[in-house]
Amino acid sequence: MANKNKNVILEEILKQYKDNLSKTDDSKIFEYFAAEQLLKDENLDEEELETGLIGDSNDNGIDGFYIFLDGELINQAEEIKGKRNGLLRVYFHQYKNQYKIEEDVVLKFNNAFKDMLDFDNTELKGWNNSLKDKIGLLRDIILKTASYGINIEFIINHISKANSKDIEDNASYWSKVENLKKTIGESNISRLDIKYNFIGGEELKNLSYKKPEYSIDLVLKDSPLTLEFGDNNIGYIALVSLKNYYDFIVDNGNIRKYLFDSNVRDYQNSTTVNSEIEESIKEDTGIDFWWLNNGITIIAGKDSSQIGKRLSLKNIQIVNGLQTSYSIYNSLKESDIYNTCDDRSLFVKIIICDQKPIIDKIIRTTNSQNTIPSSVLRATDNIQRDMEQYFESKGYYYDRRKNYYKNLGKPIDKIVSINLLSQCIISLILPEKNPSRARSNPTVLIKKDEDYRNIFSDSISFQVYLNSVLIYKKVEKELKTIILDKNFKDNPKMEEIIKLFKFHIARVLVSKLTSNINPISKDLEDERLIERIDTNMVRDSVNILINIIEEYEKYNKTSSQTIVNISKQTEFSKFITTGLDGRIHKVT
């Protein structure tokens, strides 16, 4: 009876999750749910989660594949640049939406790793193109970071709804796991640590209960200096022991990424600076740390309070001191240093404030004093704040602070990330529409000032921004119906085309919707446009795109050309615009 009750609870959690997610297939819902729970500490948004969910036909048992280097999700080889210290952590997931345990999951993992870690096997026969792409990226990272002596961690997770206790004493299962570890070890990759986990329904349920903790006590060395300004503003200046600050920013051995302003934490400056900070923590033991360091700035909500040497902080946001925080984490996670740093202190400035404009100004000003480029402070721009307000007035939540609304419990299908909005504008609105670039790497689309100014421009109305996302979401929804169509299922390429070319399909559709080969932003201002999109229009757009892909393949025949490569090529985006001529009825 106890197990039955647990199953009922898990199914109810999955049902509620499905109601908030723009997915319909139960197996896909389970994959998203499981991936989100297991990667919760990585603080990924919905689009980032999707980049690693690659299980389809010919996946050889790898349904989820996520690569993190120095704590950042990597999807393209160019993102490796500048990341040398720290850790390469790779998650391999196999999801089973069922209440039984299949031992052949481990055998599939074993066969998969034989191929993946055989660097001479470049053809990877029997693998789908998305996985070939990921494997190539992993190999590239391993080779390029080999000379840095980087630590590598493979985390292999078999995920099921079953009870993990049923597998605890299964000698056959765990002997297969040992064989898997032996197979991986035979690759002779240096400094590689292998972790294997069976994650059952109870573990998934408990992980789903774990929420980001924004209310944490900070224990000070002495009572803080309290500073009041005006009628309702207050701040504190204090010293915190390195050990107490470590405990403040760490939960179960993992740094609480969500406490750091997402736009600032993406920039970790030169590894030289981090090394110097860590060196001062580990070696300059005769000098108090705060004498050598500028300290940390924390913003907390008005309902925070102080009792003696303890600050109970609410709605915490660490807005300055990223490198110092990560260096303290990297140093003190070694137990011998944690246990011997009681006397050394960190300087901390705490500002109690709930007003968004003031918070944004604090973030921008405190970080402008460091060598952080303006590109990482985008969320504090006026246009971003105004966009957030406009979207909310229309019933949507613009997540200019990564996962802010998700952590508040807002419906996932109503949340729009900066990454998704940038992808939609690049694909559907800008004069040179480039769905290939949008699809290939969403995380770098606005890092350059010129790109940011093009995407977030006063010449584009807020309704167009919203419409671009709603068009894409409508296309995504209709594609779920279309994939069940027998005529589409009989096309061997269809599964990959729908998975890889969603932005391209939406790009074709906006031309059909506006009767214009290359529509401009004003063509998409009418909020009623979305009502005109139906299954037939999306199906026609898919057919047009398939024809354009086939033409492109004829003109660009190379041995290395794959459907995955085509989906990322800017030249193909240009070819779409050319290919629409004659296929779209123009309005004159």
Supply the pTM of this predicted model.
0.80
Tell me if 7 is assigned to some domain: yes
Per-residue pLDDT tens over the stretch 484-508: 777 776 776 787 888 899 999 999 9
Position 155 scores a pLDDT of 98
Asked whether residue 205 falls in the same domain as residue 271, the answer is: no
Tell me if 462 is assigned to some domain: yes
- Asked if residue 328 has pLDDT above 90, the reply is yes
Position 546 scores a pLDDT of 93
Structure tokens at 545: 């795109």
Q: Which residue has the higher pLDDT, 526 or 146?
A: 526
Asked whether residue 203 falls in the same domain as residue 233, the answer is: no
Distance CA 59, CA 46 (A): 21
Asked whether residue 151 falls in the same domain as residue 6, the answer is: yes
- Asked if residue 114 has pLDDT above 70, the reply is yes
Tell me if 162 is assigned to some domain: yes
Asked whether residue 349 falls in the same domain as residue 489, the answer is: no
Asked whether residue 231 falls in the same domain as residue 105, the answer is: no
Of 349, 376, 403, which marks where a domain is finished?
376
Of 175, 209, 243, which marks where a domain is finished?
209
- Asked if residue 290 has pLDDT above 80, the reply is yes
Position 357 scores a pLDDT of 83
- Which of 343-347, 365-369, 537-541 comes out lowest in average pLDDT? 365-369
Q: What region does 280 belong to: left with phi over 0, alpha with psi -120 to 50, or beta? A: alpha
Number of domains in the chain: 3
- Angle made by CA atoms 580, 585, 586, in degrees to the nearest 5: 95
Looking at the chain, the whole-number percentage of residues with pLDDT higher than 70 is 91
Position 5 scores a pLDDT of 65
* Domain that includes residue 69, residue range: 2-209
Mean pLDDT calculated for residue range 409-432: 93
Mean pLDDT calculated for residue range 191-217: 92
Asked whether residue 80 falls in the same domain as residue 155, the answer is: yes
Position 261 scores a pLDDT of 64
Mean pLDDT calculated for residue range 542-552: 94
- Angle made by CA atoms 265, 294, 356, in degrees to the nearest 5: 50
Asked whether residue 150 falls in the same domain as residue 286, the answer is: no
Distances (CA, A) of 99 to 4, 23, 199, 384: 11, 22, 12, 45
Tell me if 588 is assigned to some domain: no
Of 322, 341, 376, which marks where a domain is finished?
376
Asked whether residue 157 falls in the same domain as residue 252, the answer is: no
Tell me if 587 is assigned to some domain: no
Tell me if 531 is assigned to some domain: yes
Position 84 scores a pLDDT of 55
- Angle made by CA atoms 422, 423, 426, in degrees to the nearest 5: 85
Q: Which residue has the higher pLDDT, 164 or 557?
A: 164
Asked whether residue 387 falls in the same domain as residue 372, the answer is: no
Tell me if 584 is assigned to some domain: no
Asked whether residue 387 falls in the same domain as residue 352, the answer is: no
Q: Is 271 exposed, middle or buried (0-12, 13-18, 19+ CB in 10 A)?
A: middle
Asked whether residue 340 falls in the same domain as residue 433, the answer is: no
Asked whether residue 318 falls in the same domain as residue 392, the answer is: no
